[in-house]
Chain A
Amino acid sequence: MIEVKHLTKTFEDKTVLFDISTTFETGKTNLIIGQSGSGKTVLMKNLVGLLEPSEGEVLYDGRNFVTMTKHERVLMQREMGMVFQGSALFDSLSVKDNVQFPLDVFSSLNYTDRVKRAQECLDRVNLLDAENKFPDEISGGMQKRVAIARSIVLNPKYLFCDEPNSGLDPKTSLVIDELLSSITKDFNITTIINTHDMNSVMGIGENIAFIYKGHKEWQGNKDQVMNSTNKKLNDLVFASDLFRKVKKVEMEEEQRAHEK
């Protein structure tokens, strides 16, 4: 479980995050949603240590990440996996070598076992047949899956994904969402996903934190989103005609059930 307590982030004279407090639960897909520029990525960077919070605490199963020494942080980061928005694969390495890379650096396994483990992870994301290709030879969706395989190769306790569906078609986005959801359940890890993809919100949003202009505006799950009266949340989630219609149907059904 990750607890964020009163986190504030200021860049010189501009405050981007204001007193954020929230909890991300283990074994659940936790979503951070919000419009572009709302502070989602800054929040995630503060969680993983790429940025320093100006105020507040980040507790990983009770361990305060903010006050840790440099060495403790490095050890802590080895319990994390991260999927970046642009995949961030090492373009000089093949798909297999990208996935194997964290093992080469940190694992005490011998070469054969490291290769075997990397292949297991590639198999988990259905990319075993692309192991010898290079990142620029595969599609964006495949790159994301390689990034997921790389992020789970060391069996992390915490998985962070920064807009994993950006630039992907709806069908591929669904594959990525299902993959992240099943990995979270299978390995019982704490997964945090930054997204503004409403299909993800409705599909895998077990715990959703809505950030609006740097403030935590709302928190709940995908079922609660449907019934939410928060205007700012509704403006984001039900921005498209399709979702507005879905909500209307849902509410009508609920009303009918109530009447019966």
Chain B
Amino acid sequence: MLIFRLLRKNLTTFGEYLILMRRSFSMPERMRMFMKRYLKEMVQLGVDSIPIVLIISFFIGSVICIQMKVNIESPWMPRWVAGYTTREIMLLEFSSSIMCLILSGKVGSNIASELGTMRVTQQIDALEIMGINSASYLILPKILGLVTIMPFLVIFSSAMGIVGAYGTAYIGHIISPEDLTAGIQHAFNSWFMWMSIIKSLFFAFIISSVSSFFGYTVEGGSVEVGKASTNAVVCSSVLILISDVFLTQLLS
């Protein structure tokens, strides 16, 4: 009985999410206003995230390189293996999946709390009274903005991870720059880059739409906004991890 009730509740929530998405993906009232909001969201959700993406990617790139060099190196392994594995990890998993998991915390809570606050302060009701499709006006630019900017964040992250690895070579002298370069250039498959970008597009959609759903449907006050923000991060993180399994299988 409990399982049935839980299943019913989750299916209802999923149905509400689909209805909200249908409302969100409708023609904007004014294209000029939509473009203005779209650009604003790209800056707020994407461009403002660049510093954190670069910092994290730099240090993770360095750490992966150090770990690979210290733990994998053996006489049976070529010396370029640390550079090669660093590149593959950054490209295949870190820059798309893990970076999106981190961004689901930053961007997801931002979206949920912004929309939640607008809901409890009746700003969304004010839009509805004016005859504006508030879901389309507020949510669509966020989804499209994040989906547009996410591939760039993935590319920046991959590049910065490699820079971080070079940091260990030039500053830490853990690995020689020549070995690292040889590893990074070894058997490069450009599809991996595309795979990473395709995955990130799905993850960007999950982060923005799920967080928007939790924020938009808040009922109550500031406590509920906080809960919605937490739920948005948890739910989008879990969905990213689950979809990562399927996408990796599908795209590999």
A32 nearest CB across to chain B (Å): 17
Q: Choose, from B84-92, B121-129, B154-162, B241-249, the stretch at the interface.
A: B121-129
Q: Is B121 within 8 A of A105, CB to CB?
A: no
B131 within 8 Å of A (CB atoms): yes
CA distance A84 to B130 in the complex (A): 12
CA distance A120 to B121 in the complex (A): 26
CA distance A77 to B33 in the complex (A): 20
User: Would A88 and B121 be within 8 Å (CB), given that A104-B30, A105-B29, A105-B30 are in contact?
Assistant: yes
A90 nearest CB across to chain B (Å): 6
Closest Cβ neighbor of A81 among chain B residues: B129
Residues on the A chain within 8 Å of B33, using CB: 104-105
CA distance A102 to B137 in the complex (A): 13
B67 nearest CB across to chain A (Å): 44
User: Would A85 and B122 be within 8 Å (CB), given that A104-B30, A105-B33 are in contact?
Assistant: yes
Residues 50-93 (chain A) with a chain B CB within 8 angstroms:
50, 73-78, 80-82, 84-86, 88-91
A93 nearest CB across to chain B (Å): 10
CA distance A77 to B131 in the complex (A): 5
B251 within 8 Å of A (CB atoms): no
Closest Cβ neighbor of A74 among chain B residues: B131
Q: Residue B130 contacts which of A78, A85, A89, A160 (CB distance < 8 angstroms)?
A: A78
B72 within 8 Å of A (CB atoms): no
Q: Is A50 within 8 A of B130, CB to CB?
A: no
Residues 178-200 (chain A) with a chain B CB within 8 angstroms:
none
CA distance A82 to B122 in the complex (A): 11
User: Can you list 28 A-B pairs, Cβ within 8 angstroms, ordered by A?
Assistant: A48-B129, A49-B128, A50-B128, A74-B131, A77-B129, A77-B131, A78-B131, A80-B129, A82-B126, A84-B122, A85-B122, A86-B122, A88-B122, A88-B123, A88-B125, A89-B123, A90-B123, A91-B121, A91-B123, A101-B130, A102-B130, A104-B33, A105-B29, A105-B30, A105-B130, A105-B132, A106-B29, A106-B130
- Mark B residues whose CB is within 8 Å of A: 29-30, 33, 121-123, 125-126, 128-132
New A-B pairs, 12, CB < 8 Å, besides A77-B131, A85-B122: A49-B128, A49-B129, A50-B125, A81-B129, A84-B122, A84-B126, A86-B121, A89-B123, A90-B123, A91-B121, A91-B123, A105-B30
